[in-house]
Structure formats: structure tokens, C-alpha cells
Chain A
């Protein structure tokens, strides 16, 4: 297939566009502290979030009549009842604000990233590690505050573990606790990044097959462009899947954070 010869080149371009670049499209250098493309879209997402929240809070009513307010309330209630209260047995209300911020931050970023031409700020490790590090700091703070310094450190070893193996278990548990930063960050990043790569590849395939027809209209080029319909259909299906993934990943990240907070909040 002649058209597929261009694919590797186009995929390289796609991967480059999905990597961290300066907002003006130039190569990012760690030594320079400039606005990156992902941070730009994070700012866009947060501006949208601020507007949504402003509208929602302004229209809060006993009998809601604003769709924005209704949607935000439903999602906040979902975070409060299904995530926070479900995972944190006692005093989950205290952690609702943190978990709700996390959920809405990730969800808005993911949704903004689905708009063609935009990027999800959660599609870069810089942002996801920032979120997971914050979660790590938060649940450890909760653990130290609720159980006391020594109490929380001791809680890493489950009850009933023989004293001889307790230090080893403790080290493993502390290490696995630190690993949560990485697992949380990578899960979110990989899902968003991979989703966009797949969407990008289908978009490239759609345009590669249709390109000859646009350049030179003939019976042969029209027949050659037919696979584009299939690629477009696949892309549309995946796009819908990505909308679901945007919600699911925000949910999973917040849910796991709630699990970690719940575990740290009480001695076990």
C-alpha cells in the first residue's frame, strides 16, 4: 500500500506533538522554565473549571433549575457518597473537599483533552506525578495527624505479624506506600497518553487514505479512499470510549486516593 508508507513519519510527528513542548511548539529543555503545552491546557481546563464552579455555586437552589449546577451537584454527591463515604468509614466529610477537587481537576483536564486540538494535562507525567505526590503527602499527613507519629509508622505492619519479620514487612510496606506515587501517576498518564495516541493513529489513517482522492479525483482514488470510512468509524467509537475513560480515570484516581486516605486515617 502506497499510502501506508507515510505512516511511520506521521506517527513520529504525532508522538512529537504529544510530548512535552514549549507552548510555542519549540523543543522543551529542562533548563528552561517556560510554559509547556500541557500546562497551557491545564490552565485552560482550570479556567473552565473555575467558570463551571462559579456558575454552579451561583445557581445553587433547593429545587435546582440550572443544568450546570445540577451536574456539578450530582458529581459532588457521587464523590461524597460513593467515593469518600464508601472508602473512608469514619469522618469522610473532612476529606470531601480534597477528593472532590482531585476528581474535578482530573475530569476537567481529561474532558478538555478530548476537544480536537487540545491536550489533556493529565497526559503528561509532570502533572500526574504532581497530583499523586500531593495525594501521597495528604494521606501521610492524615495518618500522622490521626494516629500520631509513632502510631502511624507502626500501622505499616499489620497486626499478628511475628516480631522477627516485622522490620522486613515494615520496609516493604513503606516502600510500597512510596510506590503509590508512581502507580497512581503512571495509571492516569498511560491511559490518557495511550488513548490519544490511538485516536491520533486512526485520525492519521483516515486522512492518509482520503488524501489521494483530495489531490486527484478519479474512480481509483475514490475506491482507495473507502477504507477511510472504516477508520473514521473506529475513531468515532474510540472517541466515545475515551469519553468514558476520562470519567473512569478521574474516578479511579480519586477512589484510590480515598482508599489510601481511609487506610491512613484509622489504625488497622
Chain B
């Protein structure tokens, strides 16, 4: 509104000056018209001067009211928006860089931690494996010993049984051969003695 009043004041002042100029130009124009010649093109014609001044003022008033403030505001608003956007982008970039650094640091720590965990796991696995192998070896040895003992036991039992069978058969055979029977107990004693001697010979 203030600018509008100023413009009105300006219009008044300028109008006075322009009117004075018009009078001067009109006098010159009349003189040139009398003199004629090409120089008349340089003399402003009143029929052009006055409409042009009025037209300019009208255009100035209209554009000052409706166009220039809107365009000027939009230019400033856009410049502000661009500036703000750039500032925001800059801040976002700084934040992104900070986050990236943080992320890299976290990643490095995680890698380090995972490497430690992996090493520990390997170590634990190795220990478990060693322990399991040792345990298996012990069990194997125990089983082997047991098996050997069982075999020896079985073997001794078989030998003992064989010895007993041989004695019995020998007594029977000897009895039939000599016709006289020894008492069974005597025969067994003889045979056992003989077999044990034979067995000791075999062992040797």
C-alpha cells in the first residue's frame, strides 16, 4: 500500500514534468513542421508522446500491482527453497558420512569379533576332537585287552576240556587193550599225569 502511494506521488511529480516536456516538444514539433526536412523524425510527436507516457504509467501501475510482486516473491521463495535444500543435502551428506564411518567401525569390530569366535571355535573343536580320539583309543585298547583275555580264557577252557576228553578216551582204550581194568580213578590219575607232561612238552 505504501509503495502504491509512493507510486501515485511519483506519477504526480513525473506527470508535471512530462507535461512541461510535452509543451516544449510541441513547440519544437510545430517549428519543425514549418521547417520540414529529415530532422523532423527527431522531433517527438505529441500524438505519440502523450499516449506513450500514459501507456507506460498504466503498464507500470498494473504490473507493479499484479506481476512484479508475485514474480519477485516466487524468485525469492525459490532461491530460499534451493538454499535450504542445499543446506539439508549438505547436512544429510555429513550425516551419511558419519553413519558410514560408524558402520565401517562396527563392521571392523564385528569382523574382529567373528574372527576371535571362529578361532575359539576351531580351538574348541580341536580339543574336542583330540579328547574324543584319546577316549576312543582308550576304549579300543580296553576292548582289545578284554577280547584277548576272553580268547585266552576260551582257549584254556578248550584245552582243559580236550585234556579231559583225551584222558577219558585213553583210559577206555587202555582198558580194552590190556584187558584188566584199572580202577577208573587210577587210570585218570595216570592219564592226567601223562597229559600234563605232554602239555608241558607242547608248551615248551
Contacts and interface: CB of A to CB of B under 8 A. Distances in A.
Determine which residue in A32, A39, A97, A140 has the highest number of CB atoms from chain B within 10 A of its CB, and name it. Answer: A97
A181 B21 CA distance: 10
B44 interface: yes
Contacts of B46: 30, 33, 126
- Chain A interface size, as a band, is 35 or more
Given A34-B47, A138-B10, A130 B70 contact: no
B68 to A, nearest CB: 4
A20 interface: yes
A131 B14 CA distance: 11
Contact of B52 (A35, A56, A98, A130): A130
Contact of A57 (B25, B43, B71): B71
Contacts of A97: 60, 63-64, 68
A96 B21 contact: no
A130 B59 contact: no
Interface stretch (A41-49, A160-168, A210-218, A222-230): A41-49
Interface in B1-23: 3, 10, 13-14, 17-18, 21
Contacts of A33: 46-47
A232 to B, nearest CB: 28
A138 B47 contact: no
Contacts of B78: 62
Contacts of B3: 94
A185 B10 CA distance: 21
Interface string B79-98: 00100000000000000000
A136 B17 contact: yes
Given A30-B29, A62-B81, A98-B60, A93 B72 contact: yes
B67 interface: yes
A126 B32 CA distance: 14
Interface string A165-200: 000000000000000010001100100010000000
Interface of A: 19-20, 28, 30, 32-36, 38-39, 42-43, 46, 49-50, 53, 56-57, 60-62, 72-73, 76-77, 80, 93-94, 96-98, 100-101, 104-105, 121, 124-131, 133-134, 136-138, 140-141, 181, 185-186, 189, 193
B18 A133 contact: yes
A50 B78 CA distance: 24
B44 A80 contact: no
A154 B167 CA distance: 163
Nearest to B45: A126
Tell me what chain B mostly uses at the interface: helix, strand, loop, or mixed: helix
Nearest to A49: B59
A39 B14 contact: no
19 contacts: A20-B45, A43-B55, A49-B59, A62-B77, A72-B71, A76-B68, A76-B71, A77-B75, A94-B3, A101-B59, A126-B47, A126-B52, A127-B48, A130-B50, A130-B52, A133-B18, A138-B10, A181-B21, A193-B41
B177 interface: no
Contacts of A189: 42
A36 B53 contact: no
A124 B17 CA distance: 21
Given A28-B45, A130-B50, 12 more contacts: A20-B47, A42-B55, A73-B75, A76-B72, A101-B63, A127-B49, A129-B49, A133-B18, A134-B14, A134-B57, A141-B13, A141-B14
Nearest to B62: A50
B14 A30 contact: no
